[in-house]
Amino acid sequence: MQWDVVIGLEIHVQLATQTKIFSGSSTTYGAEPNIQASAVDLAMPGTLPVANEQAFRYAVMFGLAVDAEICRRSVFERKNYFYPDLPKGYQTTQLAKPIVGPGHVDIELKDGTTKRVRIHHAHLEEDAGKSLHEDYHGMTGIDLNRAGTPLIEVVTEPDMRSSEEAVAFARKLHGLVTSLGICDGDMSQGSLRFDVNVSIRPKGQEELGTRTETKNLNSFRFMEQAIHQEVERQIDVLTEGGRIIQETRLYNGDTNTSRSMRTKEEANDYRYFPCPDLLPVVIDDEFIEQARRSLPELPDARKARFQSEYGLTEYDAGLLANSAQMAALFEETVRYGKDPKLAANWLLGELSARLNSEDRSLADCPVSAAQFGTLILRISDGTVSSTGAKKVFEGLWEGEGGDVDALIEAKGLKQVSDTGALEQIVDEVLADMDEQIAQYREADEKKRKKLMGGFMGPLMKASRGQGNPKMFNELLKKKLDS
């Protein structure tokens, strides 16, 4: 049977505020356990929450960026459940009146088409603490530094139909919140966490199948793998005549396996009710207009500008413009290196591949825009070949030196582009290749092209890899065809 896959996402976005949503505790990541957990965060009796203005401003900025209605009168609810990393016994969140109403994000797919993913809503809430299950003599250790960190939870409609679409949306959202500056986007620190709702249905069926929710995926790769894995599992269950149970699942990226966490039908009854400790928050026109004025250039606008200003293809422009950091690196590189197309190729090719293979983020890229720019200048003016440039990049990456020209010199990568010197090499090499020359002259046009390679090898060898291949090619043609 053919199956349709239906995916909806819930994304927890940690807001880049200095302090928590309901207390003046710092939100700095990586602090010693519990030194950023105040009486409010610990739910000490008698404490009361006071809401952080910046969290609301960030939520409103997000709402404006996804073209959503902003709720003028925002109400907080209590979501009740017991877990030790939630000291109050409830999470303060929003249910009936979330701050951000329905909106949408357009994603670009590999086949060049654009698809609209609807945002159901986004609400403000507080993060929980962290539980450490490692060896504390059979006990669990609790760190409440994260408790009370402001989040927006973005909930999409079930509009995605493949893992490719889900990942494209996730990347787009990542680019959006980092460009807005409302989230640092560091997924390894949990700044952005994805819950994936997956269901399948026989192709052509209108009615949705039963969904499962896989929680807390913190990388795009894990997200993609977890979706594949869950789709396969559901197909197996249904094919063998079983039925899908609505449940929460945990995915383990190290082993590429998932397991059931708990069934939703039974235990979870959150008994939401309006939080009596918090008054409604009124957002007025002036607050919204202020937020609108503070919106920076967003990825879609930046993409259009990259196409018109630098003459990039739509695809390259989209990739570079999505992340604020990548876009900034690109523009600075072009300032130094001039050629935008070449700069785009290097950043999206060599650099991106390297970052991916080492699972590093752009934030700790050891090569600067000035270095990329100089390297691109040297490729453009023929000082190094593109193969040589890769070796220079390698040197910069491994910290062998910071000066591009010095590295080219030290590694002996300087291309010989002096016609006289090159011609001499060509003459010397051809002197020993009578047989091949005869063969070449007898061959037709098509075959000649192939035979050229047989001359290039010895030429590059004779010039110790430093001859300008383009000039060698021209000289060869002149000599052989004459």
Partner 1 sequence: MAISREDIEKVALLARIKVDTDQVSALEKDLGNILNLVDQLQAADTSQTEPMAHPLDAVQRLRPDTVTETNQREAFQAIAPATEDGLYLVPRVIE
**Which spans of this chain sit near partner 1 (rule: CB under 8 A)?**
17-19, 23-26, 32-39, 42, 44, 50-56, 75, 80, 82-84, 96-97, 131-133, 136, 138-144, 261-262, 269, 271, 274, 276, 278-282
Angle of helix 324-337 relative to helix 163-180, nearest 10 degrees, comes to 70
Helix (H, G, I), strand (E, B) or coil at 197: strand
Sheet holding 257-263, edge to edge: 103-108, 114-126, 150-156, 3-14, 192-202, 212-217, 247-252, 257-263
Between 108 and 143, whose beta carbon lies closer to partner 1?
143
Q: How many CB atoms lie within 10 A of CB 236?
A: 10
| Region for residue 126 given its phi and psi (left: phi exceeds 0; alpha: psi -120 to 50; beta: otherwise) | beta
Closer residue to partner 1 in complex, CB, 70/471: 70
State in angstroms the smallest separation of the CB of 228 from partner 1. 24
Least distance from partner 1 to the Cβ atom of residue 119, Å: 24
User: Closest separation between CB of residue 176 and partner 1, Å?
Assistant: 21
Closest among 254, 197, 261 to 221, alpha carbons compared:
254
Query: Can you name the residues that pair with 342 across neighbouring β-strands?
Result: none
Structure-block tokens of residue 24? 């003046």
Q: How far is the CB of 79 from partner 1 (least distance, A)?
A: 12
Q: Yes or no: say if 151 and 10 are a contact pair by the CB < 8 Å rule.
A: no
- In the bound state with partner 1, the residue whose beta carbon lies nearer, of 3 and 287, is 287
Minimum distance of partner 1 from residue 369's CB (angstroms): 31
Q: What minimum distance in Å lies between the beta carbon of 246 and partner 1?
A: 16
**3-state SS assignment for residue 83:** coil
Name the packing angle between helices 369-380 and 324-337 (round to 10°): 40
Task: Please identify which residue in the block is written with the tokens 């409010």.
Answer: 40
Closer residue to partner 1, CB minimum distance, 82 or 204: 82
Token couple for 99:
């701050």
Cα–Cα distance measured from residue 144 to residue 42, given in angstroms and rounded to the nearest whole number = 7
* Residue 183, Ramachandran bin (φ over 0: left; ψ between -120 and 50: alpha; else beta): beta
- Which residue, 27 or 163, is less far from partner 1 as judged by CB? 27
Residues 6+ apart with CB under 8 A from 238: 200, 244
326 contacts: CB under 8 Å, gap ≥ 6 = 319, 320, 347, 362
Angle among Cα 60, 63, 66 to the nearest 5 degrees reads 155
User: Residue 324 is encoded by which pair of tokens?
Assistant: 């604020």
Nearer to partner 1, 22 or 393 (CB): 22
- Nearest distance from C-beta of residue 94 to partner 1, angstroms: 11
Q: Least separation, in Å, of the C-beta of 363 and partner 1?
A: 23
| Min CB(37)–partner 1 separation in Å | 7
Please spell the DSSP secondary structure of 379-399, one letter per residue.
HHTTSS-HHHHHHHHHHHHTT
- Which of 32/398 has CB closer to partner 1? 32
The smaller minimum CB distance to partner 1, of residues 141 and 158, is found at: 141
Query: What one-character DSSP code corresponds to residue 466?
Result: -
CB closer to partner 1 out of 131 and 424:
131
Nearer to partner 1 (CB atom), residue 243 or residue 259: 259
Least distance in Å: CB of 100 to partner 1? 17
